[in-house]
């Protein structure tokens, strides 16, 4: 049987706001963000079969409200819509954490109402996208972003900031782009928190971004971990 998961977090109140959730961690990623805290998952071997995950979730019906798909990059799994359907039939809501580079799967899931909430990473403005993510397809990310906006899908956008690689101008350029696309949701600027084990060789930040230089009157901007 095909193993699709690296791990399961059986209970969390942190990964989906206002929802008690389990997290399904999908191994593997098509990016190499230097600040990534999940190197084990990005390079990890999947060891859990789908049936095992479903039977665990069956035991949590009535106890948890939601299931979060995270990773790694969960949309690399073509089975994701089928899995989401099975999980929704058990009565759970579904949240997806994604870098947005697989618009086809996300469109299918939105169209079939297989996802309730999405956290979409806007990793960097176009000029810095490849250097930060090692992924060249900014166009795919934009396609996802525009689709979610057009479909009025409930979703947030977030950017992790380490000031060695992103500055206030980069963040403002993202904010202007979101505004130009008529994004009406919440945008989160997430301050990098250093851990010893990350994907790249970034060190502790010497300074955090200056919030006073961030444009806050075009869209709803929120600051996390500052
Ligand atoms: S932070 Fe980057 S490398 Fe890490 S899981 Fe997310 S997209 Fe992949």
What is the atom index within ligand 1 of the atom nearest the CA of 160?
Answer: 1
Tokens, residue 121: 């990473």
Residue 189 · residue 222 · CB < 8 Å = yes
Tokens 């990005």 — which residue? 42
**150: Cα separation from own chain's centroid:** 19
Asked if 131 contacts 187 with a C-beta cutoff of 8 angstroms, the reply is: no
The rounded Å distance from CA 37 to ligand 1 centre is 8
Whether the Cβ atoms of residue 8 and residue 25 lie closer than 8 Å to each other:
yes
Per-residue pLDDT of the chain (226 residues; tens, 9 = 90+): 579 899 999 999 999 999 999 999 999 999 999 999 999 999 999 999 999 999 999 999 999 999 999 999 999 999 999 999 999 999 999 999 999 999 999 999 999 999 999 999 999 999 999 999 999 999 999 999 999 999 999 999 999 999 999 999 999 999 999 999 999 999 999 999 999 899 999 999 999 999 999 999 999 999 999 9
Alpha carbons 172 and 167: distance in angstroms, whole number: 9
CA of 62 to the centre of ligand 1 (A): 32
Q: How far is the CA of 172 from the centre of ligand 1 (A)?
A: 22
- For residue 171 the two structure tokens come to 């963040």
In this structure, what are the phi and psi dihedrals at residue 6, rounded to the nearest 5 degrees? Answer: -80, -40
Alpha carbon distances (Å) from 70 to 15, 23, 97, 136: 9, 7, 5, 21
CA–CA distance, 90 with 220 (Å, rounded to integer): 34
Identify which of 71, 137, 192 to mutate to test ligand 1's pocket (most ligand atoms within 8 A of the CB). Answer: 71
Please give the domain boundaries of the chain with CATH numbers for all domains.
3-224 (3.20.20.70)
Ligand 1 binding pocket (C-beta < 6 A) is 29, 31-33, 36, 38, 42, 71-73, 99, 199
Closest CA to 73 of 51, 116, 49, 106: 106
């Amino acid at each position: 049987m095909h193993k699709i998961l690296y791990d399961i977090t059986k209970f969390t109140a942190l990964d989906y706001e206002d929802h008690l959730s389990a997290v399904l961690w999908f191994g593997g990623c098509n990016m190499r963000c230097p600040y990534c805290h999940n190197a084990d998952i990005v390079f990890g071997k999947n060891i859990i079969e789908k049936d095992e995950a479903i039977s665990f979730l069956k035991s949590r019906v009535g106890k948890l409200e939601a299931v979060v798909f995270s990773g790694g990059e969960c949309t690399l799994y073509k089975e994701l819509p089928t899995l989401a359907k099975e999980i929704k039939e058990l009565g759970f809501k579904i949240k997806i954490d994604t870098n947005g580079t697989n618009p086809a799967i996300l469109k299918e899931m939105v169209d079939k109402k297989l996802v309730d909430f999405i956290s979409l990473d806007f990793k960097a403005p176009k000029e810095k996208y490849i250097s930060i993510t090692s992924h060249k397809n900014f166009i795919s990310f934009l396609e996802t972003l525009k689709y979610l906006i057009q479909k009025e899908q409930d979703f947030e956008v977030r950017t992790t900031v380490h000031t060695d690689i992103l500055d206030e101008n980069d963040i403002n350029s993202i904010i202007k782009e979101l505004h130009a696309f008529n994004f009406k949701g919440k945008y989160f600027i997430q301050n990098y928190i250093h851990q010893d084990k990350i994907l790249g060789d970034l060190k502790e930040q010497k300074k955090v971004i200056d919030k006073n230089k961030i444009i806050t009157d075009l869209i709803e901007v929120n600051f996390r971990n500052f």
